[in-house]
């Protein structure tokens, strides 16, 4: 744990998702702890909505970061798109919704970065994008999983309608290196 301080740049946040929060290493400060639910899916329900999703990559990095910064789906940095395939929906050239993949422990693959601009919510974009991402994960023989803030009841309800079920409660701890 003491070596973690050297991994983080000054002012950089590190996120831990653990059943039991780890101790804060020397030279670091706990910024916040939040309860989350971890969910998995063995199958994905069919959806009625179809939208035009586009692959997102390096040319979209600034738009992706801006959308994630606005909506705060969890940790998302400038290079997060490199961790897995991301797709999005654009309206008049503007990125209004996205979802993608992040961590891949073993036969699991995390659905991550799911967010919709507040002006475009309620249209079914998040559900559609999640179906696309999770279905691709299942087609590769992997199991999709995700993390959601326990207080985000709307998102949890959506995830349940897609076929995700709660697996366990975990704590998200955010720490930062002291100057």
* Domain boundaries, given as residue ranges, for the chain: 4-177
Q: In sequence order, which residues have a C-beta less than 8 Å from that of residue 141 and are 6 or more positions away?
A: 107
| Alpha carbons 68 and 74: distance in angstroms, whole number | 8
The widest CA-to-CA distance across the chain, in whole angstroms, is 51
pLDDT of 73 higher than 90: no
The pLDDT value given to residue 147: 94
**What are the DSSP calls for 114-162, one per residue?**
EEE-GGGTTSSHHHHHHHHHHHHHHHTT-EEEEEEETT-HHHHHHHHHH
| Alpha carbons 129 and 47: distance in angstroms, whole number | 10
Mean pLDDT of 163-173: 96
User: Considering the domain 4-177 in this protein, what is its CATH number?
Assistant: 3.40.630.30
- Tell me the H-state helices in 26-124: 61-71
Mean pLDDT of 16-25: 88
Q: Which residue is listed with tokens 């998040």?
A: 126
| Alpha carbons 104 and 143: distance in angstroms, whole number | 10
The pLDDT value given to residue 109: 97
pLDDT tens across 98-150, in order?
999 999 999 999 999 999 999 999 999 999 999 999 999 999 999 999 999 99
pLDDT of 27 higher than 90: no
Residue 94 vs residues 88, 116, 119, 122: alpha-carbon distances, Å: 10, 12, 12, 17
| Alpha carbons 166 and 40: distance in angstroms, whole number | 7
Q: Which residue is listed with tokens 């704590």?
A: 171
| Alpha carbons 50 and 97: distance in angstroms, whole number | 14
The pTM for the full model equals 0.88
Mean pLDDT of 72-97: 89
pLDDT tens across 61-71, in order?
999 999 999 99
Average pLDDT, the chain: 92
Give the tokens for residue 64.
């992706």
């Amino acid at each position: 744990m003491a070596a973690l301080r050297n991994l983080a740049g000054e002012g950089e946040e590190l996120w831990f998702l653990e059943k039991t929060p780890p101790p804060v290493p020397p030279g670091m400060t706990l910024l916040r702890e939040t309860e989350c639910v971890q969910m998995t899916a063995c199958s994905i329900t069919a959806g009625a909505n179809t939208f035009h999703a586009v692959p997102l990559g390096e040319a979209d990095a600034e738009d992706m970061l801006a959308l994630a910064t606005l909506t705060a789906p969890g940790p998302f940095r400038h290079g997060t798109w490199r961790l897995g395939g991301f797709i999005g929906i654009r309206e008049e050239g503007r990125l209004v919704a996205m979802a993608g993949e992040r961590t891949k422990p073993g036969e699991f693959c995390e659905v991550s970065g799911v967010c919709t601009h507040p002006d475009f919510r309620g249209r079914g974009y998040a559900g559609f994008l999640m179906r696309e991402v999770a279905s691709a994960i299942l087609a590769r023989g992997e199991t999709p999983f995700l993390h959601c803030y326990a207080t985000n009841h709307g998102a949890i309800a959506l995830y349940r309608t897609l076929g995700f079920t709660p697996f366990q409660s975990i704590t998200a701890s955010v720490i930062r290196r002291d100057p």
